[in-house]
Structures are given as structure tokens and as C-alpha cells.
Structure 1
């Protein structure tokens, strides 16, 4: 974790926790912290999404004001968020197909001169040392603040449910309706969004696609795939399909579109 030498004004979050927020526009030298946080926070295979590999550097360059981290009082980075502005007509049908599509659409809209009216979160990653301390709610509030500061009133996210990987054989359309003993959403990350006033809009059944050779998948998962079939791998929300004859593995991740009201 990096120490931020020059801190921005303090903010107060849940339970009185004080933190400092900075964007890449203010501190471009902190771009490496986003990379380090993503590497620490995601399963290895998630870092090989072809869309992200192609477009991430453009997102950081074009939209630095929508990429932010928070740090504690010592300057230690606790969590980071990537997000992008784009144009959305407000209808369910008009939402991008998912994570990959909104990534590309934000860049396309920018180059075509479309004025954005919506921001989509791409990822909120909390360092393992700070998980379970209410940081997720703080990050959502911070993101809402950034969206509002740019006079944008719509915030959406193709949410990756945090506990879905424990239940990879359960269809997403069933999983999102599970409830805990208190009648709240069973999934912690979905629950955090709903408690913040959001609503579920619809599923994104093909939100992200990751392809690789059999050797790639064996390296990413530290597993062996002796024959073709579907495999449950750590961190995946659904099984991965391996075709040994074609020497390819394919992962199609479903997400859940959630909308916040600014």
C-alpha cells in the first residue's frame, strides 16, 4: 500500500471514520495504486478481460476525474474506484449489455462528442486489510459525491455480487432474489447498494467475457484441465468452459445492473 504524501481535505464516513479522497486528475502519480489494488482485489483471471486490456489506459487518460481512491489519516490507500461517464436514455433496454460494453461505450461516446448524463461504476476495490470496516458504503457515498459534482444525476453499476462465487451453480436470476434471516438481500455487496437507496434494474447475463488458452486458464487458476468440460474455479461466479481440442477456455460472467439516485 502506498502512502499519499499530499492529502486532500478530510471527509467523514460511516461510524465517524475520517479519510482523504483524491482523484487521478489531482494526483496522476498515483495511477500505480489503482493497478496494485486491482491485482490484490480480483482473481487473477479477472485481469485478462480483453476489453479492459484494450481500453483501460484510455479511460484513465480521458476520465481521470472519475477515478479515485481514499486514504486513511496516515496516507495509506484503503480503496480505489474506477468509473466512466456515458450517455444513457434512461430505459432498461438502453443500458449497455454489461461491464465490457459500458467500458467501450464511454470511450465511443467521448470520441463522438456525446454529452454524458450518467456515470457507471466499473470497480470498487477495497484492500484486504480494510475489508469489513464499512469502507464499501464510504466508497459509494464518495462516488455519488463525485457524480453530483459534475452535475450528473444518474449513477449505475454492473454489480459483481461479492458472494456469488460461493454458489457458481445457482443461476443469477435466482441468486439475486435470495434473502438473509432479516429479509435483506443475501449478497453483501448487493445489500450495501440497496441500503444506499439503489434499486436492481435488470440482469446483465453476458457482462464480461474472458478467453484464454488451456494453459492460460491453468496458470490463472492454479488448476489442471485434463479434458473438455465445465469447471468450477475459485473466484468465478459461474463455471468456466474448457475445450481441450480447440485449446481454449471461455468465461462469461453475469452481473446485475443497479441504479442509484443522486
Structure 2
């Protein structure tokens, strides 16, 4: 089947199509990254050519993905600390007139009913192609390793090394990137930081949080730390930096 990648802002998408596409997207607590909220509007304003939809033959969106451009010297130790820092560097670099040389793939998702058909790889390829058109020779991604939620107590530095008997990555999202030629660069143990009140975290997770302490939460890649006295829940999400070229 032929698929076509277009900018997300090219048309007003039918609400039911968008709802289906994003129905099993990211966990609700992802919205608790306060710093992202301060930058995401400018990301959409500054880099619309890197916010894409993948359409099927009937022009129904079946996948979505987005990226940002920034300047990076190619050294692992000078990477952004993760997803949030990449947005900050991209936006502030753009505002300061810094010429970017690196595409950072920030995320991609597929309509739930079509998972397992290679569309995630097609979406990543479309984003890489957009980076090439923008003359960005390097491509990296702070990958959110989805199966890490099964092992929230395991350090990301250990998890990223786990392999299946055939030698491929245990994590399916890391594996998808590797199949496209990407290599693991480094762990990003604090790619995002989410904060909220205890009541907010109880709403996001569906859990009662009666005492201060650490909690394993649904879809969490690490634990949630709750301080009842301060009425604060703190969650730091790990990612894995991977390089495509």
C-alpha cells in the first residue's frame, strides 16, 4: 500500500480521525511536564514542516510524528538531557538565529488498529526525509522505550542493553529504530520531569496515593515519588538517545 507524508497543518482533519489516531497515544501524566508547556506552542509555530501525518490511499491519517532542529556537535556528552531539553534548545536556538545541523525526532505514533504493520518505521523514515530536505545532516531521537513500563525499577542504563535471544533489542520501540539503522548513543535518565499535586496524580494514574513514598504507576517507565506534606508528586521519565545518522 502507498502512504503519503504531509504537513499536519495542511488541512483541518476530521475530529473522529484524529481521535482514533491519538486514542492510545501517551499516558495522561505526560502533560504534567511544565517546561514543555512553555515551549510547545513555539515548536509548532517555528517548525511546522517537521510536524507530519502519514496518510493512506484514502487520505486518512494513520500515523503522526514530529521533530525539531537544533545545533549539536555530534558528541554524546553534549546531547540535550532529553526530550524537554531538545525542545528548549531548538526554540531558543531558533530565536537566537543559531543555524541547526541536527534533526531530533521527538515522537511518532500509529493508529492502534494498524499497529504491527510497519507504519511506525514509515513515519520515522518520513521524518528523516524531512530532515534531509531541511539540510540537517545528523538525526537523533530521545526514544521512549515503551516496554520499560514493565520494569520501572530497572535503571535505564541497564534496560537499554537488554537483548532478545536473536540479538535484537528487547524493547520494541528501540528495536524499530535499530531496524532503520539507528544506534544507541546514551541513556537519558531524566528526559522529562512531570510534577503535580497528589490529587492530580491520583487522577492521572487512577491510584490512591495515601502515603509519602515511591509508587509504581500505570505506563510509568520509572517510579512516582510522592511527598504528601508538600502535596507534590514528582516523576522523572527516562529515554534512550539513538542516532540514525
Query: Under a length normalisation based on structure 2, what TM-score does the superposition of the two structures give?
Result: 0.94
Structure 2 match to 1:91: 75
Structure 2 match to 1:60: 44
Cα distance in 1 for residues equivalent to 2:41 and 2:159: 34
Structure 1 match to 2:207: 223
Cα distance in 2 for residues equivalent to 1:39 and 1:86: 30
* Deviation >3 Å, runs of 4+: 28-40
Structure 1 match to 2:87: 103
Structure 2 match to 1:182: 166
| Residue 20 in structure 1 maps to residue 21 in structure 2 | no
| Residue 43 in structure 1 maps to residue 27 in structure 2 | yes
- Superposed counterparts of 1:90-169, under 5 Å: 90-169=74-153
Structure 2 match to 1:170: 154
Cα distance in 2 for residues equivalent to 1:85 and 1:31: 29
- Deviation by residue 1:35-90 (Cα, 9 ceiling, x = unmatched): 88556401110122112221111111110001001011122211111110011111
- SS of the residue 1:114 aligns to: coil
Structure 2 match to 1:4: none
| Residue 241 in structure 1 maps to residue 225 in structure 2 | yes
Cα distance in 1 for residues equivalent to 2:14 and 2:226: 35
- SS of the residue 1:18 aligns to: coil
Native 8 Å contact 2:65 2:124 kept in 1: no
Native 8 Å contact 1:51 1:103 kept in 2: no
1:163, distance to aligned residue in structure 2 (A): 0.6
Distance change (3 Å), C-alpha of 1:222 and 1:192: same
Structure 2 match to 1:232: 216
1:30, distance to aligned residue in structure 2 (A): 4.7
- Superposed counterparts of 1:189-208, under 5 Å: 189-208=173-192
1:158, distance to aligned residue in structure 2 (A): 0.6
- Superposed counterparts of 1:4-15, under 5 Å: none
Aligned-CA RMSD value? 1.8
Instruction: Tell me whether 30-39 or 136-145 shows the greater mean CA deviation.
Output: 30-39
Native 8 Å contact 2:160 2:187 kept in 1: no
Cα distance in 1 for residues equivalent to 2:14 and 2:179: 31
Cα distance in 2 for residues equivalent to 1:176 and 1:58: 32
Native 8 Å contact 2:196 2:234 kept in 1: yes
Cα distance in 1 for residues equivalent to 2:11 and 2:45: 9
- SS of the residue 2:78 aligns to: coil
Cα distance in 1 for residues equivalent to 2:198 and 2:164: 38
Gaps of 5+ in 2: none
Instruction: Tell me whether 28-37 or 225-234 shows the greater mean CA deviation.
Output: 28-37
Query: Under a length normalisation based on structure 1, what TM-score does the superposition of the two structures give?
Result: 0.88
